[in-house]
């Protein structure tokens, strides 16, 4: 199944509603799968070309800076997720989850260290780091 399993994991753990993909880049599989499962997906990236690419695929996408996020964009989100985020954006993504008081799910690149405060979950062979500010 590959990275699309993250969508299945989210569907099993997060009630339907708005979910945010932080740093969508050009990988749309999970966002499209979540949309197909009935979620309102908001894709966010600093790269305007990535945002335009997501919009062309039918995904609601906006440009924002994860280091200084416009929290109004994220209002009402039930969860934040990110696929293979670069190490320097992991802490800001977790901070976003903290500010929103919602869980954060990240798929690491192999070899990436586990971020402080996250736990590793194996879901159908997929390594997912989970951060839940409500369960601290």
Question: Percent of the chain having pLDDT more than 70?
Answer: 96
Q: Show the DSSP H helices in 37-86 as ranges.
A: 48-56, 71-74
Sketch the domain layout of the chain as residue ranges. Answer: 2-135
- Strand partners of residue 100: none
d(CA 57, CA 55): 5
Tell me yes or no: is domain 2-135 CATH 3.40.50.150.
yes
pTM over cut 0.75: yes
Instruction: Average the pLDDT over 98-118 and give the result.
Output: 86
pLDDT (0 to 100) of residue 98: 95
Which residue did the predictor score with more confidence, 102 or 125?
A: 102
Q: Are strands 40-45 and 18-22 parallel, antiparallel or unpaired?
A: parallel
pLDDT tens, position by position, 53-67: 999 999 999 999 999
Cβ neighbours of residue 14 closer than 8 Å, sequence gap 6 or more: 39, 78, 79, 103
């Amino acid at each position: 199944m590959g990275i699309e399993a993250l969508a299945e994991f989210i569907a099993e753990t997060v009630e339907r509603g708005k979910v945010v993909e932080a740093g969508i880049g050009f990988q749309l599989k999970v966002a499209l799968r979540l949309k197909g499962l009935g979620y309102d997906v908001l894709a966010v990236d600093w790269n305007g070309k990535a945002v335009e690419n997501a919009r062309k695929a039918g995904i609601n996408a906006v440009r924002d800076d994860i280091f200084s996020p416009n929290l109004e964009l994220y209002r009402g989100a039930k969860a934040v997720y990110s696929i293979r985020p670069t190490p320097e954006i992991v802490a800001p993504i977790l901070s976003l989850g903290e500010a929103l008081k919602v869980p954060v799910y990240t798929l690491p690149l192999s070899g990436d260290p586990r971020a402080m405060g996250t736990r590793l979950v194996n879901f159908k062979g997929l390594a997912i780091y989970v951060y839940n500010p409500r369960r601290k």
